[in-house]
Amino acid sequence: MENKKHSTSVWSEIEPYCVIKTVLKNLWMVVLAAVAFSMLAYIAVTLMMKPTYTSSVIFVATPKNALSSGNATISTSTADQFSSLLSGTMLRKQIQQEYGSAVDNVTVSAKAVSGTSVIKVNATGQTPSAAYYMTSGIVEHYAEWTPYLMNTVVLEVVNAPNIPSNDEFLARQRRIVLIAAPIGALLMTALLCFLCFISRTVQTTVGARNQVDAPLLVTIRHERRHRTLKSLLSRKKASLLISNPTTAFSYVETVHQLRARVEHAKKHHGCKAFLITSVSENEGKSTLAANLALCLAKRYKKVLLVDCDMRKATQSQIFGMKAEQSKSLNALLKGELDPSALVHALQYRKSDNLFCLFSSVMRHNTSALLGSVQMRQILKVLRENFDYVIVDTPPMGYFTDSALLADQTDASILVLRQDKVTDLAANDTIDALRRCNARFLGFVFNDVHTLNLATRLLGGRHGYGYGYGYSSGYEYGYGKRGYSKNGYGYGYGYGSKGYYGSGKERIDDEPAQKGEDSDGTT
Domains and CATH numbers, the chain: 10-49+169-197 (no CATH), 53-165 (3.30.70.1130), 214-460 (3.40.50.300), 462-522 (no CATH)
Q: Where is 335: in which H helix or E strand?
A: none
Which segment of 109-113, 376-380, 483-487 scores lowest on mean pLDDT? 483-487
Q: Give dist(CA 356, CA 462) in Å, integer.
A: 34
Q: Where is 354: in which H helix or E strand?
A: strand 354-357
What confidence tier does 192 reach under pLDDT thresholds 50, 70, 90? very high
Q: Give dist(CA 402, CA 412) in Å, integer.
A: 10
Q: Give dist(CA 415, CA 446) in Å, integer.
A: 7
Residue, of 442 and 165, whose pLDDT is higher: 442
pLDDT above 60: residue 519: no
**Cβ atoms of 266 and 390 closer than 8 Å:** no
Which segment of 199-208, 222-231, 332-341, 344-353 scores lowest on mean pLDDT? 222-231
Nearest to 55 by CA among 115, 103, 117: 103
Which segment of 69-83, 207-221, 440-454, 468-482 scores lowest on mean pLDDT? 468-482
State residue 264 phi and psi, 5-degree precision: -65, -40
pLDDT, residue 295, reads 95
**Cβ atoms of 23 and 192 closer than 8 Å:** yes
Length of the chain: 522
User: What are residue 216's DSSP bridge partners?
Assistant: 443
**CB-based burial, 430-466: b 16+ in 10 Å, e otherwise:** bebbbebebbbbbbbbbbbbbeeeebeeebbebebee
pTM for the full model? 0.68
pLDDT, residue 169, reads 75
Nearest to 285 by CA among 463, 408, 433: 433
Span 106-132, average pLDDT: 82
**Cβ atoms of 124 and 86 closer than 8 Å:** no
pLDDT, residue 327, reads 83
DSSP 188-243: HHHHHHHHHHTS-B--SHHHHHHHSSS-EEEEEEP--S--SHHHHHHT------TT
Residue, of 343 and 462, whose pLDDT is higher: 343
Q: Give dist(CA 256, CA 261) in Å, integer.
A: 9
Span 393-420, average pLDDT: 93
**Distance in Å from the first CA to the final CA of the chain:** 7
* Angle in degrees, 0-180, between the axes of helices 27-48 and 16-25, rounded to the nearest 10: 60
Rg of the Cα trace of the chain? 40
**Burial class of residue 385 in the structure, from the number of CB atoms within 10 Å of its CB (0-12 exposed, 13-18 middle, 19+ buried):** middle
pLDDT above 90: residue 481: no
Q: Which amino acid does the sequence have at 139? A: V
Which segment of 65-74, 235-244, 498-507 scores lowest on mean pLDDT? 498-507
Span 62-88, average pLDDT: 61
Q: Mean of the per-residue pLDDT values for the chain?
A: 79
What confidence tier does 441 reach under pLDDT thresholds 50, 70, 90? very high
Span 179-197, average pLDDT: 94
pLDDT above 90: residue 466: no
Q: Give dist(CA 343, CA 339) in Å, integer.
A: 6
**CB-based burial, 13-52: b 16+ in 10 Å, e otherwise:** bbbbbbbebbbeebeeebeebbeebbeebeeebeeeeeee
Which segment of 50-64, 146-160, 334-348 scores lowest on mean pLDDT? 146-160
Which segment of 180-189, 272-281, 297-306 scores lowest on mean pLDDT? 297-306
Q: Where is 255: in which H helix or E strand?
A: helix 249-269
Q: Give dist(CA 445, CA 257) in Å, integer.
A: 13
